[in-house]
A and B are shown apart, each in its own frame.
Chain A
Amino acid sequence: MPLLPARGRGAASLTGSDESKKISMHGFANPTRFLRLARLLTAPLLVAGIILAGLSLGWGLLGAPAERLQGDSVRILFVHVPAAWLGMGGWSAIAIASLTELVWRHPLAGIGARAAALPGAFFALLCLITGSLWGRPAWGAWWVWDGRLTSMLVLFFLYCSYLALADAAARDGDGTSRVPAIFGLVGAVNIPVIHYSVLWWNSLHQPPSITLGKSEMAPEFLWGLLAATIGFSLIFGGIVLARMRTILADAQAEARLRRRAMEAHDA
């Protein structure tokens, strides 16, 4: 089962270092080069992310003060906001990778998009659940059908659909990931809707506290939140690299077994 088809000039096979050297392709699309970099970065990203996220969550739980209006429930901020950021960031990554795949036919872009989908879906779901847990003590409701919450739920469903599409494209063996790539690109329409929903429509959800160059958040929350967001983002990066390595290794093993079977058949 080829993971991606050779599609004209510049297209590349991802079935092994020997094969990849023989085929012309742009430098960054070289799986051998990518794997060298990924092997170097996967564990450090995960370890640094776990340490930073752990420290900032410890601060959020034990060090940060209770908020004047929301009381102790404000501590959920340190989980909820990074989860929201990565839920939206994950789909933005899928959209950029899909565009790269469709326009430049970069062979690793489709794999990157596929690898980002599961952690993206996880963080979108975590955002919904922690938002609900925060909403109950803060608003008196687990859920309201307003623009922000509904568009975030739509994002989670988009992730589920993307995962099913990408899985089917890989399994069916036609090798094409054009359909998931188009879906990934079209689904990106939901990202600005999520972001601006609290400004466009009436919502129980508060408007953004942090905008470019401006923050209305007290420093004792702001710095902890930034550290948690960076920590979870590093973890996200490590998971995406690990999943890309998994997909590539599976494809390489599959290609070798297939080649051996064909050689045995010819002999």
Chain B
Amino acid sequence: MHEGLNHWTFVIAAYVLGVGGTALLCAWSWIAMRRAEARRDRSREK
């Protein structure tokens, strides 16, 4: 332990980045997949 740092600041920052980043990546991948599949289905109908 150094300089009497509050460890919770570092813990919360790590969890926010981990959870937030993973959630964003999941959501982005899912939305991109749905859009691409909708585009493919539309190209079938034309």
Contacts and interface: CB of A to CB of B under 8 A. Distances in A.
Interface of A: 42, 46, 50, 53, 57, 61, 69-73, 75-76, 79-80, 83, 118-119, 122, 126, 129-130, 133-134, 136-137, 139-140, 232, 235, 238-239, 242-243, 245-247, 249-250, 252-253, 256-257, 260
B11 A257 contact: no
Interface residues of B, number: 30
Contacts of B1: 69-71, 137
Interface of B: 1-3, 5, 7-8, 10-11, 13-15, 17-19, 21-22, 25-26, 29-30, 32-33, 36-37, 39-40, 42-44, 46
Contacts of B32: 242-243, 246
Contacts of B29: 119, 239, 242-243, 246
B3 to A, nearest CB: 7
Given A69-B1, A245-B33, A249-B40, 14 more contacts: A50-B26, A53-B22, A57-B19, A71-B1, A79-B14, A130-B14, A130-B18, A140-B3, A239-B25, A243-B33, A249-B39, A253-B43, A256-B44, A260-B46
A76 B11 CA distance: 6
Given A73-B10, A136-B10, A140-B2, A239 B26 contact: yes
B33 A249 contact: yes
A137 B7 contact: yes
A contacts with B: majority SS: helix
Given A243-B33, A260-B46, A136 B14 contact: no
Contacts of A50: 26
A204 to B, nearest CB: 13
A73 B10 CA distance: 7
Contact of A232 (B11, B22, B46): B22
Contacts of B15: 57, 61, 75, 79
A239 B26 CA distance: 6
Contacts of A83: 18
